[in-house]
Structure 1
């Protein structure tokens, strides 16, 4: 029995790997190939963001965290990195704190921040990781094919809809909306720790080191479909980052990227049966696609089984 997975971002590829390694005949069809997707733009720190409902996000996030910790032992695109999140006002520990073995409060804070915590979490270098998933899928017998689909395929008994923002078309779901995210990458000045320090909804700041570069972000702009980088936003992001991480002032800007996060009031991960087809929807992960990927893939596998 062939299973078609629609979408080749991190959710689609992870689901396809789980199914193929579970002995299923899997074909991925996607308008955008893996390195062309929003997933390829992500800074990809394991961190639940823009996703609900809380109980399911906690479950899927925990399963993904455990999988990434295992992958970090052998897969170079996944590393466990320590870092800090700075807060402008005090908060209780996050709901997912129990998943982290070393979360603790930050003692010394920069001006303008009242609280913060530090912890070690998986950081995923997405271009390399998407290539890793693609190779793993191929090794299990799965395929990836570019296809501009007007809707979900009707010639397979099981279709898994992982189209992200494309679910507006493939599922006729207008509750899926874009949240624009702009980032830039700079040369690596020797950083090893990540930083998240958002002063407000319009002043996001994250610094995520990778093996050869550093991702600096960002923006979170609901309803904005603009794919062209904005120069004013880029300058503001870079200045916020340099203020908190002065070593970045020596770094050279390499590129600017934009991705559209597929936001939804809640992640949709469920099976719908028609007369001759099982459709499993798995989309609407917001800014937590990587964070929830393995947990959602496990859920899809269970629905198929």
Structure 2
């Protein structure tokens, strides 16, 4: 009896392994995504002003709001882990090939670049947080004078487009607060993660042979700059308006008015940040091919 070729057996096992890993990553990602979408839609439907006597009571709505915030956090963690799992599968699948994806994933075989990505993403996230008004510092506004207890938390239950409610506010000091809007935090996480990824990959390319090209830098720069404006700057402004008497309805109106502009900045920033790694990978591949020749 002729024995099976060990090379073919190993190759078949590796293929099943990366396929299984990738399918698992997609399942984890889509479970988180669907959970997030469903939670936003259900909460939005339940918080629409209505004369229905069966409408959700305030206490029940408060509990539901905390549940939605918890689901948002869990769904984000699920999607991030799903993307990481898919990335690992692509590392296995493209190892040793000449594809652009192999040069992108290959850079992160060294843990140093994961650390660089984390530092860059956190740093950019803090910067993004202040510009998008997730982190609000107003030395000219006294929260205590507006009747706000410091330190305390506040939950705004309604009413705005899906993803903007519930708002969770943490009053840290008399002039500093954290305004958590689910959609805003999600966008901040996505943009910051992509910026960190591009920074780490760019440093890898630079260290390889100072291979940064003008096109790559421009694409990454456009994505990072536009990404600063993906968030909803008026959400915090609406909060302060509510403190001085405009009310929650004004916040919802402001968010609705800015929705088209927010979509425009998302369209400009996220695709640029997604395309940038492939442009960087082209420069890495050209440098690698030059070294081989």
TM-score class normalised by the smaller sequence:
under 0.3
Larger Rg: 2
Determine which structure has the larger strand proportion and give its number: 1
TM-score (norm 1): 0.26
Determine which structure has the larger helix proportion and give its number: 2
Query: Quick one: higher RCO (CA 8 Å, sep 6+), 1 or 2?
Result: 1
TM-score (norm 2): 0.26
